[in-house]
Structure 1
Amino acid sequence: MASESKEVETDLSPFIKVYKDGTVERIYSPPYVPPCLDDPITSVSSKDIKVSSEVSARLYLPKITHPSTEKLPILVYFHGGGFCLDSAFASFHHSYLNLLISKANAVTISVEYRLAPEHPLPAVYEDSWAALQWVASNSVADSEIEGNINREPWLINYGDFGKVYLGGDSAGGNIVHNMALRTGVENLIGGVKILGAFLSFPYFLDPKTQKGNDDRETLVNKMWMLVYPSAPGGINNPFINPFADDAPDLSRIGVQKVFVCTAEKDTLRENSLHYVEELKKSDWKGEVELVDVEGEDHCFHALRLDSEKSQSLLNSLASFIIN
């Protein structure tokens, strides 16, 4: 715990404080939970692996009830937390993914990327791309790639590299968008293509939609400048504002279908709706689906798993992957 005598540089309570000596205090810090080879509620198995010296991940495998030649979809998932909070190993992310995976029946890789401000952006995007390339590298033989990789039997034995999906919530949804754009212009190892992507309550900013007097808007703006202080254009940077004048054209998105979900009380809702509209208006040839949940707030589905609306949204996400 940081000393109360230290001078604060940035105070984004109740989430994070950064002190002038460089100390970072994460006020919001969900407890770590270990992986489990047979979750008692969902029967999903999980284990932790190293992707590289800087990136790790938690892998999930749904219960295999009988041997089959039919392989499972692969989901590469990016957790939320404003790029500076949370973890792939946090308790509520683990519970959320166990439930989603049991419904979607997909081999899943939850990426543990480096957090800002210790590792300012764009480090998170490079970590996420490295994780995505590592997943793709498991689709080819050792002789087809340079260097050594950590082979993953769950991906090789059970994963269908013709059905790879991206998914993420909040900041994770932002990462999904940026990874989908990158796959549209850069090749993944083995020629792997991304079939679909879901963006749940994506962390997008756009000065044109902001009211200017909302405390939560102020918070998300300040958080972006904390995690990427050198961002060209500030909150008009294309990484966070897909509608900025110099943002890549949405037609470049390298996936065939997109699912976006938001909710009535989400501060970022207007940007999610705008994203879907702009995607439809672009020259992108894919299919986009929107779910806008009445009466709910940001990422409610991952925080209250047993609610009726959460279950409904989880079922929609699972159906998007299954179909």
Structure 2
Amino acid sequence: MASTDTTKHIISEIPPYITVYNDGTIERPRQAPTVPPNLNDPNSSVSSKDIIISQNPNISARLYLPKHPTQKLPILLFFHGGGFFFESAFSKLYHEHFNIFAPQANTIVVSVEYRLAPEHPLPAAYHDCWSSLQWVASNQEPWLTNHGDLNRLFIGGDSAGGNIVHNIAMRAGSEALPNDVKLLGAILQQPFFFSSYPVGLEGVKLKSSDHDFYCSVWNFVYPSAPGGIDNCCVNPLGLEAPSLEGLGCDKMIVCVAGKDGIRERGVWYYEIVKKSGWKGKLELFEEEGEDHVYHIFYPESVNGQKLIKRLASFIHE
């Protein structure tokens, strides 16, 4: 009789972010701890609560409402970063960020808890985030009904979440939302895009190990992607990519950081949207001395505050 190897061993990993074992266990050492919402914290200028968007599939969100709103507020549907395979809308990192962002931007935030790879490979996250947008547009939640202005609906996200923003905005250009709701704007913060070929100064700036890392992340989270790293979801000019002229929003801001390894991709995306024939208002914001998602890690820093103020202006202008 052949012996069966029952020793626990690694079957895939992206060090130091995630390790998958043959017994099905998964370790995410860089995952920030989760924290509860604050519904009635007297020391906070924002209230937060968790809601269920869908039970099949399992999609939820954390809502942030600035206290004592005197008028209808814009709504920001936000998709967190983390490479599509870690982080959470309920993590301490994002919770603290939105406790600062929501009241300063005077905006209702719906931060989506979408399904993660590898348990749920892409395109699961894209489907979840589209369902979340449909849910917001259907206007079933009291905070949104009583205090939200669906004529000022935005989507936003950092890193992998910025990639999701692009894909959701493209879908919004070809599929109608409930109640004929339209997206007003899109906010991409250091968005994750990549391809088999370098863009901008990547050929000079990126080491081969960096290139391999970004490719390995994509192959890990979307192993069945047609075209691999040139799939149109990660390379907007890639395999069977629809024209960016079809982006379904009226304005967009792309935020990049000078020290970020994917800075060139953000600038490249801005340039190809600008040349696409899309009729919306397009902006590029760069903080030269900062690294990837600095504003999420340090929202109270000088440059974190600078970006929050710029995004608040973008939302309200």
Normalising by structure 2, we get a TM-score of: 0.92
1:44 equivalent in alignment to 2:33: no
User: For residues 71 and 250 of structure 1, do their structure 2 counterparts lie closer, same or farther at Cα, with a shift above 3 Å needed?
Assistant: same
Identity among equivalent pairs (%):
51
Does the 8 Å contact 2:163/2:193 carry over to 1?
yes
Q: Which residue of 2 aligns with 1:80?
A: 81
Q: Which residue of 2 aligns with 1:203?
A: 192
1:59 and 1:80 map into 2 onto residues whose CA distance is 17
- 1:87-135 per-residue CA deviation (whole Å, 9 max, x = no partner) reads 0000010111121111111111100001110001100011001111011
1:223 equivalent in alignment to 2:227: no
Q: Which residue of 1 aligns with 2:176?
A: 187
Partner SS state of residue 54, structure 2 = coil
Q: 2:160 aligns with which of 160, 166, 171?
A: 171
2:194 and 2:267 map into 1 onto residues whose CA distance is 12
Q: Which residue of 2 aligns with 1:60?
A: 64
User: For residues 228 and 71 of structure 1, do their structure 2 counterparts lie closer, same or farther at Cα, with a shift above 3 Å needed?
Assistant: same
Q: Which residue of 1 aligns with 2:3?
A: none
1:230 and 1:245 map into 2 onto residues whose CA distance is 14
Q: 1:213 aligns with which of 207, 216, 224?
A: 207
Partner SS state of residue 197, structure 2 = helix
Can you give the 5+ residue segments of structure 2 that lack an aligned partner in the other structure?
Answer: 1-6
Q: Which residue of 2 aligns with 1:141?
A: none
Q: 1:319 aligns with which of 307, 313, 316?
A: 313
Does the 8 Å contact 1:133/1:188 carry over to 2?
yes
How many residue pairs align between the two structures?
Answer: 304
2:283 and 2:42 map into 1 onto residues whose CA distance is 33
1:40 and 1:106 map into 2 onto residues whose CA distance is 19
Partner SS state of residue 242, structure 2 = coil
Q: Which residue of 2 aligns with 1:263?
A: 257
Does the 8 Å contact 2:227/2:239 carry over to 1?
no
Does the 8 Å contact 1:16/1:24 carry over to 2?
yes
Shift of 1:41: 5.8
Shift of 1:246: 1.9
2:79 and 2:52 map into 1 onto residues whose CA distance is 16
Partner SS state of residue 51, structure 1 = strand
Partner SS state of residue 87, structure 1 = coil
Does the 8 Å contact 1:13/1:27 carry over to 2?
no
Q: Which residue of 2 aligns with 1:290?
A: 284
Q: Which residue of 2 aligns with 1:129?
A: 130
Partner amino acid, structure 2, of 1:315: K
Partner amino acid, structure 1, of 2:257: A
Does the 8 Å contact 2:105/2:308 carry over to 1?
no
Normalising by structure 1, we get a TM-score of: 0.91
Shift of 1:222: 0.8
Partner amino acid, structure 2, of 1:289: E
2:115 and 2:156 map into 1 onto residues whose CA distance is 18
- 1:176-230 per-residue CA deviation (whole Å, 9 max, x = no partner) reads 1000000000000000000001000001112222547343332222111111111
Partner SS state of residue 256, structure 1 = strand
CA root-mean-square deviation: 1.4
Shift of 1:267: 0.9
Partner amino acid, structure 1, of 2:158: D
Q: Which residue of 2 aligns with 1:147?
A: none
Partner SS state of residue 168, structure 1 = strand
Bigger shift: residues 242-251 or 34-43? 34-43
Does the 8 Å contact 1:206/1:271 carry over to 2?
no
Does the 8 Å contact 1:42/1:102 carry over to 2?
no
Shift of 1:73: 0.5
1:114 equivalent in alignment to 2:101: no
Partner SS state of residue 194, structure 2 = coil
User: For residues 28 and 285 of structure 1, do their structure 2 counterparts lie closer, same or farther at Cα, with a shift above 3 Å needed?
Assistant: same
User: For residues 42 and 289 of structure 1, do their structure 2 counterparts lie closer, same or farther at Cα, with a shift above 3 Å needed?
Assistant: farther
User: For residues 39 and 279 of structure 1, do their structure 2 counterparts lie closer, same or farther at Cα, with a shift above 3 Å needed?
Assistant: farther
1:40 and 1:154 map into 2 onto residues whose CA distance is 19
Shift of 1:38: 4.1
Bigger shift: residues 212-221 or 312-321? 212-221
Q: 1:232 aligns with which of 218, 226, 233?
A: 226
